[in-house]
Structure 1
Amino acid sequence: MPTEALSRLLLTREPGEAAVRAWTDEIATDLLGRSSHVREPNFTEIGQDDLASLFTAYDGRFLDGLCGGILGPGTLSFRLSGRMTRAGGKTTRFERRGHTPRFEIAVATSILFDGFGEDDREVTACGLPCRHRLDALQRIFEHELVHLAEFLCWEISHCGRARFRGIARRLFLHRAHTHQLITHSERAARDGIVVGSRVNFAFRGQPLTGRVNRITKRATVLVEDARAPRWSDGRRYARFYVPLEELRLVEADRGA
């Protein structure tokens, strides 16, 4: 049975450091040569077809094509997410009674594109240093591929558990199951803007002042407004979603 063969491979295969590095370098070189989007290691564009290409390459090289052999037509899809601002990727198993399970691998583009500036700190993914976006993309995709393979064999997958960590370590040399990528919150904090900060911004030409309630791709800023709904602190706030670059920290809060 293909699932039995895949489970044996996942629990026993250990290519070794030299082979893993050679194979991942080959996959990177091939993607750079074939992709119409990913043309350099610090690429500025990526397409869903690039994720599909990575799946075919990794499945063939590391997993003997077994994942592709188990998956039926139309049961695996890929998504590029600009809304995921903390996780580097996500693999989801969808199941409906009487239907074949289907799967989706999503990769967070916002985190990839926000990192790797000239003055940025070192980025790690799966405990491994990443020189550029392509390194980070591959480590994230490897992590998600382990999730997919576990789903196919055992129907559940948890990256914090020993089985997942063992598979990721043997197959891909991963040292951790988390990523230390640069987030919007980290970038905002460099300018002193954190949750609770008082900030100025303009809305339709009108200057406003409020407090930061949440930071994702944009900041959620609460501005007191007697006409707005009442919040749990008893005050009334209007809520604004403001691009981070449009916020200015209130001077009285600087150095506080």
Structure 2
Amino acid sequence: MIKWEVKSESYILNARNHIKSEFLKLLEINNHSFTANALEGKSILLSNSFIKKLFYLYDDNFLKGQLEKFIGDKMKFSLSKRMTSSGGKSIFSKSVQGYSYEIRISLPVLNNFYLTNSEKRVSGLVVLDHIEALMIIMEHEICHVIEFYNYGQSNCKAYRFKKISIEIFNHKGVYHEIPSEKSLNKKNKSTNISVGDKVKFTFKDKIYEGFVSNITKRATVMVLDSKGQYKDKEGNRYGKWYVPLSNLHK
């Protein structure tokens, strides 16, 4: 039986800060890219091994190593490019070889973090960046794993799961509020942004102006830049930006 202590808010916040710091150190030491910015068209690069390391950082700081002790090598980790609505998924399997567990993390949800500048919440908690989003998603999945191990089933909509998530992590909900590209495209059909339009957008408190050269999931905006890679017939140089439609203004 995996047991836990009810954690105070100050303990939880301090532990999260410590885990985030240690996780960033791991990424830096291994030269692993975990940057994402929709404006620059970059995607998150992550691996199963780093999901595993984050899991055991939580195990050490919140559960005194019980997950490693009781589950050990029966715990697997994976990343999904197909999961577009759920931030994570926990899988509990039974076979003749015994039990196995898997935590699967959604790359699309993490990549969508910067599609808008609006406040984001995961499990009812405000998250400031995609790393914090990953961390709270991991906390939610750890609660599933605990419930699977202790009771053989798990349901995040039920009272027992919510009690576990509140006592260990002080979660305020069970869903994430990170917009998907699909939902934003539906929302932005009324923006009347078209190819050729002159537009403005803000990045790091600076306003940029340019014109829309293409629209797919994001708008491609060409911005005058003397050091830009792209050159028109008049010799003007441009930098290319990939911007969510919701961030553009005429």
Structure 2 length-normalised TM: 0.69
Give the match for residue 85 of structure 2.
86
Are 2:176 and 1:179 aligned? yes
What secondary structure does 2:97 align onto?
coil
Give the match for residue 15 of structure 1.
7
Residues 25-82 of structure 1 show CA distances to partners (whole Å, capped at 9, x for unaligned) of 1000001001232556978321111110011111111111111111143x11111111
Instruction: Find the aligned partners of 1:142 and 1:84 in 2 and give their Cα distance.
Output: 18
Residues 132-191 of structure 1 show CA distances to partners (whole Å, capped at 9, x for unaligned) of 001100010000000001111111111011111011111111000111111122221133
Structure 1 residue 130: Cα displacement: 1.0
- Where does structure 2 lack aligned partners over 5 or more consecutive residues? 38-42, 191-215, 220-250
* Match of residue 103, structure 1, among 101, 104, 109: 101
State whether residues 85 and 184 of structure 1, in contact with CA within 8 Å, keep that contact through their aligned partners in structure 2: no
Could you tell me which amino acid in structure 2 is paired with residue 17 of structure 1? E
Instruction: Find the aligned partners of 1:151 and 1:188 in 2 and give their Cα distance.
Output: 37
Give the match for residue 130 of structure 2.
133
What secondary structure does 2:82 align onto?
coil
Residues 200-221 of structure 1 show CA distances to partners (whole Å, capped at 9, x for unaligned) of xxxxxxxxxxxxxxxxxxxxxx
Could you tell me which amino acid in structure 2 is paired with residue 121 of structure 1? S
Instruction: Find the aligned partners of 2:16 and 2:35 in 1 and give their Cα distance.
Output: 16
State whether residues 112 and 133 of structure 1, in contact with CA within 8 Å, keep that contact through their aligned partners in structure 2: yes
State whether residues 127 and 178 of structure 1, in contact with CA within 8 Å, keep that contact through their aligned partners in structure 2: yes
Instruction: Find the aligned partners of 1:41 and 1:172 in 2 and give their Cα distance.
Output: 26
Give the match for residue 46 of structure 2.
46
CA RMSD, Structure 1 to Structure 2 (Å): 2.0
Instruction: Find the aligned partners of 2:72 and 2:108 in 1 and give their Cα distance.
Output: 30
Give the match for residue 144 of structure 2.
147
State whether residues 36 and 114 of structure 2, in contact with CA within 8 Å, keep that contact through their aligned partners in structure 1: no
Larger RCO (CA within 8 A; separation ≥ 6): 2
Among all aligned residue pairs of Structure 1 and Structure 2, give the percentage whose two residues are the same amino acid.
24
Are 2:24 and 1:26 aligned? no
What secondary structure does 2:98 align onto?
coil
State whether residues 32 and 38 of structure 1, in contact with CA within 8 Å, keep that contact through their aligned partners in structure 2: no
In structure 2, the CA distance between the partners of 1:39 and 1:112, relative to structure 1 (3 Å rule), is closer
5 Å-filtered alignment, 1:159-198, equals 159-192=156-189
Q: Which runs of 4+ in 1 moved over 4 A?
A: 38-43
When the two structures are aligned, how many residues end up with a matched partner?
186
Give the match for residue 230 of structure 2.
none
Instruction: Find the aligned partners of 1:175 and 1:126 in 2 and give their Cα distance.
Output: 6
Instruction: Find the aligned partners of 1:245 and 1:60 in 2 and give their Cα distance.
Output: 40
State whether residues 123 and 172 of structure 2, in contact with CA within 8 Å, keep that contact through their aligned partners in structure 1: yes
What secondary structure does 1:192 align onto?
helix
Instruction: Find the aligned partners of 1:244 and 1:55 in 2 and give their Cα distance.
Output: 32
- Where does structure 1 lack aligned partners over 5 or more consecutive residues? 194-242, 247-256
In structure 2, the CA distance between the partners of 1:28 and 1:76, relative to structure 1 (3 Å rule), is same
What secondary structure does 2:133 align onto?
helix
Instruction: Find the aligned partners of 1:184 and 1:86 in 2 and give their Cα distance.
Output: 10
Instruction: Find the aligned partners of 1:125 and 1:109 in 2 and give their Cα distance.
Output: 15
In structure 2, the CA distance between the partners of 1:186 and 1:41, relative to structure 1 (3 Å rule), is closer
What secondary structure does 2:20 align onto?
helix
Structure 1 length-normalised TM: 0.68
Instruction: Find the aligned partners of 1:89 and 1:172 in 2 and give their Cα distance.
Output: 16
Instruction: Find the aligned partners of 2:60 and 2:69 in 1 and give their Cα distance.
Output: 10
